[in-house]
């Protein structure tokens, strides 16, 4: 933290800032400049709240210098985290394709899609049993019945499954069935849920909030890790901007920045970012090329009849072509 004083700040005002810093057990280092004083803060444990200083008279700004996160940081753990689920490894050097329908609608639908995903080269099956929906009047998922279908898919196709867990009330239930627990966009800062996920033995896929900064996202991952669960992967799924031609704006620059700041794997979900099938394929290609550790995409054999998000679901043959392409480009990246 660097506290920048007003040009005409008095020595007493500078002193007050120094005292506050020292009273919290940190070190204050005033830096007299040409026309104003700044005060550096050293030896802080954890983040310093700018609000401590911003209201004081004579203070112009409080500029954070170091990052607020710790366990998720590459400075703390230089080597990439690798996550193993069944016989699949996620992270450094691997490109993991996850695919399936938005929602599990019934056993036939799910099994049909799972077979095609498996054949096309998908490694992990996705499908929602509990669905967070903007409207209380739309299909909310099959619940436990959906989880049972997921379990059958895992056994039948030897494919781990990822599904969303929406709240602490149903956590034990979802945890009993899923291989990877997904925490959705709307719950990225649901701290009770994050803490519960931190106590789980399952890997967690944490989706980025609709308008979360990377710091906020990594801090949400820090909540999970600080409770003891280090198997966390991040998932970029687009952010909300003024743009309207896609549902959200896929922020691919997040991939290299997360890789520089953190050791956690990062997956991209182009389906929810795009919202329209015609954009999903090019954005999937871009996500592989930017260097993500994996893709999670929606696939449906009859998207026109899907109960949710049909417009963004790929046909199985489109997913197959994408998977082949992704493999070629991933190989080029490793050259």
Q: Identify whether the C-beta of residue 219 lies closer than 8 Å to the C-beta of residue 188.
A: no
The binding track of 152-171 with respect to a copy of itself, each residue x by CB under 8 A or -, is --------------xxxx--
Give least dist CB 221 to a copy of itself, A: 10
**Choice between 112 and 246, CB closer to a copy of itself:** 246
Among 89, 151, 325, 330, binds a copy of itself (CB under 8 A): 325
CB of 89 to a copy of itself, least distance (A): 22
119: left (phi over 0), alpha (psi -120 to 50) or beta: alpha
Q: Which residue's CB is nearer to a copy of itself, number 15 or number 278?
A: 278
Q: Is 176 in the site for a copy of itself (CB under 8 A)?
A: no
Least Å from the CB of residue 143 to a copy of itself: 13
Footprint of a copy of itself on 108-127 (CB under 8 A): none
Total interface residues for a copy of itself by CB under 8 A: 109
Binding-site member from 94, 152, 285, 301 for a copy of itself (CB under 8 A): 285
What backbone torsions phi and psi does residue 8 show, to the nearest 5 degrees?
Answer: -100, 25
Q: Is 56 in the site for a copy of itself (CB under 8 A)?
A: yes
CB 91 within 8 A of CB 81: yes
Stretch that binds a copy of itself, among 44-52, 87-95, 103-111, 156-164 (CB under 8 A): 44-52
95 CB-near residues (< 8 Å, 6+ apart): 288, 292, 293, 294, 295, 326, 327, 330
Instruction: Work out which of 229, 287, 297, 319 binds a copy of itself, going by CB under 8 A.
Output: 287
| Interface with a copy of itself (CB under 8 A), residue from 2, 18, 111, 151 | 2
Q: Please list every residue from 239 through 278 that binds a copy of itself, using CB under 8 A.
A: 239-246, 249-257, 260, 273-278
Q: Among 77, 148, 226, 230, which residue interacts with a copy of itself (rule: CB under 8 A)?
A: 226
Sequence-distant contacts of 213-218: CB under 8 A, at least 24 apart: 214/254, 214/257, 214/258, 214/261, 215/67, 215/68, 215/69, 216/188, 216/189, 217/188, 218/67, 218/69, 218/72, 218/73, 218/258, 218/261, 218/262
Q: Is residue 68 near a copy of itself by the rule CB under 8 A?
A: yes
10 binds a copy of itself (CB under 8 A): no
C-alpha distances out from residue 84 to 15, 95, 157, 228, Å: 53, 13, 17, 17
Residues 75-104 binding a copy of itself (CB under 8 A) are: 75
Near a copy of itself in 195-214, by CB under 8 A = 209-211, 213-214
């Amino acid at each position: 933290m660097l506290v920048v004083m007003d040009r005409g700040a008095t020595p007493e005002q500078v002193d007050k800032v120094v005292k506050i810093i020292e009273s919290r057990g940190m070190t204050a280092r005033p830096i007299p400049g040409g026309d104003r004083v700044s005060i550096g803060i050293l030896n802080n444990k954890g983040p310093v709240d700018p609000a401590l200083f911003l209201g004081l008279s004579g203070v112009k700004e409080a500029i954070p210098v170091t990052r607020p996160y710790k366990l998720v940081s590459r400075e703390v753990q230089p080597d990439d985290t690798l996550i193993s689920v069944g016989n699949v490894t996620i992270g450094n050097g691997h490109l993991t394709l996850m695919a399936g329908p938005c929602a599990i609608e019934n056993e036939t639908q799910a099994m049909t899609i799972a077979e095609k995903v498996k054949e096309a080269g998908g490694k992990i099956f996705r499908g929602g049993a509990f669905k967070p929906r903007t409207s209380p009047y739309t299909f909310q998922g099959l619940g436990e019945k959906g989880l049972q279908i997921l379990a059958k898919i895992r056994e039948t196709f030897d494919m781990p499954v990822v599904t969303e867990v929406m709240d602490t009330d149903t956590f034990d239930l979802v945890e009993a069935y899923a291989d990877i627990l997904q925490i959705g966009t709307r719950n990225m800062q649901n701290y009770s849920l994050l803490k519960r996920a931190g106590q789980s033995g399952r890997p967690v896929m944490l989706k980025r909030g609709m308008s979360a900064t990377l710091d906020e996202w990594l801090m949400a991952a820090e909540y999970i890790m600080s409770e003891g669960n280090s198997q966390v992967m991040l998932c970029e799924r687009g952010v909300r901007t003024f743009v309207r031609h896609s549902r959200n704006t896929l922020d691919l620059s997040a991939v290299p920045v997360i890789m520089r700041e953190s050791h956690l794997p990062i997956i991209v979900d182009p389906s929810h970012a795009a919202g329209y099938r015609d954009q999903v394929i090019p954005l999937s290609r871009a996500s592989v090329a930017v260097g993500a550790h994996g893709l999670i995409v929606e696939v449906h054999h009859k998207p026109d009849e899907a109960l949710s998000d049909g417009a963004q679901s790929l046909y199985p043959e489109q997913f197959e072509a994408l998977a082949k392409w992704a493999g070629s480009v991933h190989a080029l990246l490793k050259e």
